[in-house]
Structure 1
């Protein structure tokens, strides 16, 4: 059944349900998310809005999380479930191929500062060396129908990193409220079927580590093995 959210004001011992209203437009919701993407429940840095893909389509919002992974945020607007799901999967197939250089180029067109500085201001950490190891696709809607719910749930069962979130709008006199609800908890699919689709990587044995050490001209691997250290970076962040 489709997701529904309600909100009540407690007056003494009597809860009073607040009437749900309609946002003036989903474009306004897009404005809210660009200004404060933490409305989705985690810190995000929006690096593009209405980003045109090589296929002539426009991604509503593209963001980075604290691990340097990309989030595709697509508003449902007035499209059918089949249309919006097909659209976000199409965007995901392109976004997943973006490298660090292209991501920085996209961000430079949207941000008022360098990507590294903007990232540090939001996450209080340096921009990771590797970006876009994983993507997350999120359908944003002001209401969610049962057809959308079935499609997204089916895709998640097969390990597709897609989710849906909807926002409800309430009015209480002069006060206005936004309520948020996710279709599925957690960012990534976690079902047994999804797990079987993932790469068969052995669990960490708690003993061995893999590091990217650098080139031989700047660091000696033999010294590292002899004296038992690893070295990385070299810039101000490190």
Structure 2
């Protein structure tokens, strides 16, 4: 028992629950504990996705078939695998060695291996035949996965208690070797009416990891954290773009996570127009255009620039946390709430068309789709997207016009106010269609992009 006390409370009456083992409650390791973790992966950490369970289709370093099965294989939002070992009762003395063996084996996974493993898992869970391509799309919607990220799996050991030898080994692996390894302890309680189960992090103590690392490993962890922040930002931006969450030119506001820090920076932010704001563009490398200088930045790059100029701070930051929409949701919040990107009915957009605008859109859509055989269309939450090899444009429906954001053309070459062009950046231009006469000029601009992609 970890020392916690659990009570059933009715008004002023509190009855202490009795700690019991899972076996005493008639609960089993695979039929119950494993299913809880699969159904609620958040017990393993924030933003965790289950990839497979009871996996055993691998070959060891000697070439012999491994007999043991990994309980649960998961993936975090940074693209790192998580090896999970579950024990219903007190963990055996060798549990950490078993988990390390599995970590070594999964570290040899290629991306193809991972996609196939997840396809088998999804097929078993859904009772339908899920293709490797479908599994890959689901994983890509969850995280940016690279060969490098697959080489660094983390380990989670979960049991009701851990022998001192296991804890000592885990502390050594974490503090001295920098391995991302955690111990999660669960405890069952019998109340007057129900059986309750709690899960808590036994090691490392939550929130003080940096204080239990040796100086050398602490520096390694800081470097690793910097790389993970970059990977996390790439994953966040990629998911937002794929799901079409933000409209081109949608305005975002800089907001420090600390109220005191935000107030400290207020005078600098207010000194010049635009310092607080950036607009979104569909560019994975530099999705923010700062209104203060019109230049493109990554969320982290711009957040660090503002923090350094306004408060003299040069520490590493998770930039997507610092940019919020009009509903005060950060880029991280938006990405975390997303399901895998999917088409929506095109009527979501066409239902917004006025009687006068509907035939104009129909003519534009028909002319564009028939202008070449390899042009395709997707209907997403925020816009209708048209593609060739890459995206050609985003189309948004407004009350009295269509906004067409054309990728790959620069506002410097197609000046604002010239014909149908009403806005733009070095990476795209914003054109408007209000009448049938506007269709041909916009199609001519799109043909320029089409020809660039063919070159």
Structure 2-normalised TM-score?
0.40
Note if 1:9 corresponds to 2:8.
Answer: yes
Q: Following the alignment from structure 1 to structure 2, what is the Cα–Cα distance between the partners of residues 68 and 151?
A: 26
State the Cα distance separating 1:150 from its structure 2 match. Answer: 2.2
2:54 counterpart residue number: 50
Q: CA deviation at 1:101?
A: 1.3
CA distance in 1, matches of 2:166, 2:156: 12
Specify the alignment match of 2:194 in structure 1. Answer: 175
RMSD over equivalenced CA pairs, Å: 3.4
Counterpart position of 1:85 = 96
Deviation at 1:13, TM superposition (A): 4.7
Instruction: Classify 1:26/1:188 alpha carbon distance in 2 versus 1 (closer, same or farther; 3 Å).
Output: farther
Structure 1 position 16, deviation (Å): 2.9
Query: Matches of 2:15 and 2:142 in 1, distance apart?
Result: 47
Report the Cα offset of residue 161 of structure 1: 1.6
Alignment of 1:56-67 (within 5 A): 56=66, 57-67=68-78
Matches of 2:121 and 2:194 in 1, distance apart?
32
Q: Which of the numbers 26, 29, 53 marks the counterpart of 1:26?
A: 29
Q: Is the 8 A contact 2:44 2:156 kept in 1?
A: no
Note if contact 2:8-2:16 (Cα within 8 Å) is conserved in structure 1: yes
Task: Report how far residue 61 of structure 1 moved.
Answer: 0.4
Structure 1 window deviating more from structure 2 (70-79 vs 106-115): it is 70-79
> Greater share of helix residues, 1 or 2?
2
The number of aligned residues is 206
Structure 1 residue 141: deviation in Å? 0.5
User: 1:50–1:61: 8 Å Cα contact kept in structure 2?
Assistant: yes
Query: Given the two structures, how large is their TM-score scaled by the length of structure 1?
Result: 0.71
The structure having more radius of gyration, on CA atoms, is 2
CA distance in 1, matches of 2:296, 2:6: 56
Deviation string 1:72-108 (CA, Å, 9 cap, x unpaired) is 0001356864311110111111122222111111111
Unmatched segments (≥5 aa) in structure 2: 61-65, 124-129, 228-233, 235-294, 298-388, 392-455
Which of 82, 105, 108 is residue 71 of structure 1 equivalent to? 82
Please report how far the alpha carbon of residue 133 of structure 1 lies from its aligned counterpart in structure 2 after TM superposition. Answer: 5.4
C-alpha spacing 1:155/1:149, structure 2 compared with 1 (3 Å): same
Partner residue in 2 for 1:222 = none
Question: Aligned match of 1:101 in 112, 123, 126?
Answer: 112
Secondary structure at the counterpart of residue 73 of structure 1: strand
Deviations 1:120-170 (A, max 9, x none): 7xxxx4541425253210101022333332222222111122111011112
**Residue in structure 1 matched with residue 167 of structure 2 by the alignment:** 149
Residue 111 (structure 1) shift: 1.1
User: For 2:150, what is the secondary structure of its paired residue?
Assistant: coil
The 3 A distance-change label for structure 1 pair 37 and 45 is same
Q: Does 1:128 align with 2:144?
A: yes
Distance 1:19 1:110 in 2: 37
Range moving further from structure 2, 145-154 or 162-171: 145-154
Higher relative contact order (CA 8 A, sep 6+): 1
Q: Which whole-Å CA distance do the structure 2 matches of 1:234 and 1:132 have between them?
A: 28
